């Protein structure tokens, strides 16, 4: 395979020289060297754990390198913090939330820069709000105002706040780290437009994403990292999805990793929502899940599908109506749900599905106390370790040991831990909210296989997803939601198109 090692431009904006970063025993970047030219959208791809975000974080002044150096505009680049990097032209929006909840949008945009609006000893909020609103107007963001409290915004709008914050600094390098997974179609279009506009003005955009199609559409060049090593860079005319996959993974990956056959499912209803109404989103909502069924739930991000997942699991208060299991048990809290072998994987993995400062084992066994008891309520350490190790092996979780802290693992490995936690207790009904968000194609393929295997073993799955190909590829039946109601129901069939689902969404 012929891959260009460096793009042929006169003067690179960023030069990376044998850059390394170690997190304890984990080598995140291993003497990486490459260049990024000025005024391009440079895609940065690689599997989870390949080192993309680590590189971006070093460039943005969030963390320090272990050794090696970066040159920015020909000068050694060593920002001591994010603010210094921003002031000198490198701004980044991160994968998970980077906003403060209890302040307004304007205060988030000018966080740490409040003195710019000082009138003597006081800060002029009026001036600050006006300046923030100007940025929002420039970016054509209309869904909230500068004075809106941030806690009222959903994940997508918070991302837009981060983009606005980054734009204030008129960056020479704009890093977008896995941001599009949190954005709806409108949000994505806004971001793509902004990226194009920036490159026209000479800014370089470093675009980190697992969506190869998106990268191929938006980028001028794509650089690939694998296991902390730099593999190469492809120019636009060399883009080829299969080639990129091979560069990322180091082996051929089957083109279609969705399940192709239509095995159907049982008529037995294992879970149903009867006229459920929640404080937000759902009004008199009905749905049924069958044994051995993968029920896809799609729609725009604010259609209520995420609330539905929580309500079915008892994690969202149901004001009226009931969620009932096949045996008649009413699910009105998470404890009852877990006791009846239900599982829930949140879209907001780091905040809701994992204890980041706990170890891999502590997370996996957190709901498996009964399974690991030896004498009455006494838990066996040995059984627990074996339980955790089995999930680590079965799911190929990349970690130094079961005692590895979850916070230092990549997104894909974290998601595998969430899977392992629920699979380990043999959950029968699994509610998965965007289970492949922020994971690479290799892990994605493994998860699809896992979901399909679970279906074949009679498990029932609610698959909430914002990715239409995933819904079409994995679901036996798809319901599309709009404004908290079902706007369309489509059975698995040959030739089911994304357009049909989009029509139901809009």
Gap between the Cα atoms of 430 and 172, Å rounded:
45
Give the separation between CA 190 and CA 350, rounded to whole angstroms: 26
* Sequence-distant (≥ 6) Cβ neighbours of residue 402 within 8 angstroms: 359, 360, 361, 364, 385, 388, 389, 392
**173-177/204-208 β-pairing:** parallel
Total residues binding another protein (CB under 8 A) = 64
Torsion on CA atoms 397, 402, 406, 411, rounded to nearest 10: 0
Tell whether residue 352 is a contact of another protein (CB under 8 A): yes
Nearer to another protein, 61 or 187 (CB): 61
Sign of CA dihedral 223, 225, 228, 229: negative
Q: CB of residue 349 vs another protein: minimum separation in angstroms?
A: 9
Does 236 bind another protein (CB under 8 A)? Our answer is no
Integer Cα distance of 461 and 473 in angstroms: 14
User: C-beta of 348: minimal distance to another protein in Å?
Assistant: 9
Q: Does residue number 120 form part of the binding site for another protein (CB under 8 A)?
A: no
Residue 259 or 404: which CB sits closer to another protein? Answer: 404
Residue 268 is classified by DSSP as -
When binding is defined by CB under 8 A, the residue of 112, 328, 377, 495 that contacts another protein is 377
Contacting residue, 49, 171, 232, 321, with another protein by CB under 8 A: 49
Q: Which range in 257-265, 344-352, 464-472, 498-506 contacts another protein by CB under 8 A?
A: 344-352
Partners of 22 in the beta sheet? 27
**In this structure, what are the phi and psi dihedrals at residue 496, rounded to the nearest 5 degrees?**
-65, 125
Figure out which of the listed residues 407, 458, 487, 496 binds another protein, where binding follows CB under 8 A: 407
Pick from 76, 85, 27, 83: nearest CA to 56: 85
For another protein, the closer of residues 188 and 347 by Cβ is 347
- Those residues whose C-beta lies under 8 Å from the C-beta of residue 103, and which sit 6 or more positions away, are 111, 149, 150
94 scored as a contact of another protein (CB under 8 A): yes
Tell me which stretch binds another protein (CB under 8 A): 24-32, 152-160, 271-279, 460-468: 24-32
- Shorter beta-carbon distance to another protein: residue 207 or 452: 207
E strand or H helix at 471? helix 468-474
Single out the segment in contact with another protein by CB under 8 A; choices: 9-17, 211-219, 402-410, 476-484. Answer: 402-410
Q: Cβ 499 to another protein, closest distance in Å? A: 33
Which of 65, 157, 162, 177 touches another protein by CB under 8 A? Answer: 177
**Closest residue by Cα to residue 179 from 97, 123, 122:** 97
Residue 367 touching another protein (CB under 8 A): yes
- Shortest distance in whole angstroms from residue 505 CB to another protein: 27
d(CA 422, CA 191): 35
| 67/197 with CB nearer another protein | 67
362 binds another protein (CB under 8 A): yes
Q: What sign does the dihedral 408-177-165-161 (CA atoms) show?
A: negative
User: Does 26 engage in binding with another protein (CB under 8 A)?
Assistant: yes
When the beta carbons of 422 and 448 are compared against another protein, the nearer one is 422
Does 408 help bind another protein (rule: CB under 8 A)?
Answer: yes
Dist. CA 63–CA 390, nearest whole Å = 33
Decide whether 159 or 477 has the Cβ nearer to another protein. 159
**Count of alpha carbons within 13 Å of 213, Cβ hemisphere only?**
2
Helix (H, G, I), strand (E, B) or coil at 42: strand
Is 100 a binder of another protein (CB under 8 A)?
Answer: no
The residues that touch another protein, with contacts defined as CB under 8 A, are 23-26, 28, 48-49, 51-54, 57, 62-63, 94-96, 98, 177-178, 313, 315, 333-339, 344, 346, 350-359, 362, 365-367, 369-370, 373, 377-379, 400-401, 403-405, 407-411, 414, 421, 438
């Amino acid at each position: 395979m012929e891959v260009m090692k460096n793009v042929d431009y006169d003067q690179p904006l960023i030069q990376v020289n044998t850059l390394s970063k170690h997190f304890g025993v984990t080598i995140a970047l291993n003497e990486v060297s490459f260049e990024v030219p000025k005024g391009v959208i440079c895609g940065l791809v690689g599997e989870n754990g390949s080192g993309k975000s680590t590189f971006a974080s070093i460039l943005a002044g969030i963390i320090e390198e272990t050794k090696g150096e970066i040159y920015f505009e020909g000068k050694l680049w060593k920002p001591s913090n994010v603010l210094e990097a921003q002031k000198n032209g490198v701004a980044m929006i991160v994968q998970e939330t980077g906003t403060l909840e209890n302040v307004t949008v304007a205060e988030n945009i000018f966080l740490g820069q409040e003195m710019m609006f000082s009138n003597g000893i006081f800060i002029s909020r009026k001036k600050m709000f006006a300046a923030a609103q100007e940025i929002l107007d420039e970016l054509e963001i209309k869904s909230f105002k500068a004075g809106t409290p941030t806690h009222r915004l959903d994940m997508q709008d918070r991302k837009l706040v981060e983009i606005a914050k980054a734009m204030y600094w008129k960056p020479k390098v704009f890093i977008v780290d896995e941001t599009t997974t949190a954005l709806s179609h409108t949000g994505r279009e806004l971001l793509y437009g902004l990226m194009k506009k920036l490159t026209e003005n000479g800014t370089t955009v470093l675009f980190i994403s697992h969506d190869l199609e998106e990268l191929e559409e938006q980028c001028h060049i794509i650089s690939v990292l694998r296991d902390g090593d730099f593999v190469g860079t492809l120019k636009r005319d060399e883009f080829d999805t299969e080639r990129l996959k091979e560069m990322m993974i180091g082996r051929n990956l089957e083109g279609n990793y969705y399940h192709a056959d239509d095995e159907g499912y049982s008529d037995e209803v294992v879970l149903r929502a009867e006229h459920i109404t929640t404080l937000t989103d759902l009004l008199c909502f009905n749905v049924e899940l069958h044994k051995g069924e993968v029920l896809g739930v799609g729609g725009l991000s604010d259609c209520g599908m995420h609330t539905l997942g929580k309500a079915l699991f008892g994690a969202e208060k149901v004001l009226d109506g009931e969620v009932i299991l096949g045996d008649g048990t009413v699910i009105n809290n998470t404890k009852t749900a877990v006791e009846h072998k239900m599982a829930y994987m949140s879209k907001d993995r780091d905040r809701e599905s994992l204890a980041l400062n706990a170890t891999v084992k502590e997370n996996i066994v957190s709901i498996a106390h009964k399974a690991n008891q030896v004498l009455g309520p006494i838990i066996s350490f040995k059984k627990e370790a074996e339980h955790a190790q089995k999930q680590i092996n079965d799911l190929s979780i990349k970690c130094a040991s079961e005692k590895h802290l979850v916070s230092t693992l990549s997104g894909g490995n974290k998601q595998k831990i969430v899977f392992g936690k629920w699979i380990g207790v043999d959950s029968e009904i699994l509610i998965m909210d965007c289970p492949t968000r922020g994971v690479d194609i290799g892990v994605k393929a493994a998860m699809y296989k896992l979901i399909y295997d679970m279906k074949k073993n009679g498990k029932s799955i609610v698959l909430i997803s914002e990715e239409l190909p995933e819904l079409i590829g994995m679901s036996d039946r798809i319901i599309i939601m709009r404004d908290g109601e079902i706007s369309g129901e489509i059975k698995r069939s040959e030739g089911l198109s994304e357009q049909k689902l989009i029509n139901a969404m809009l």
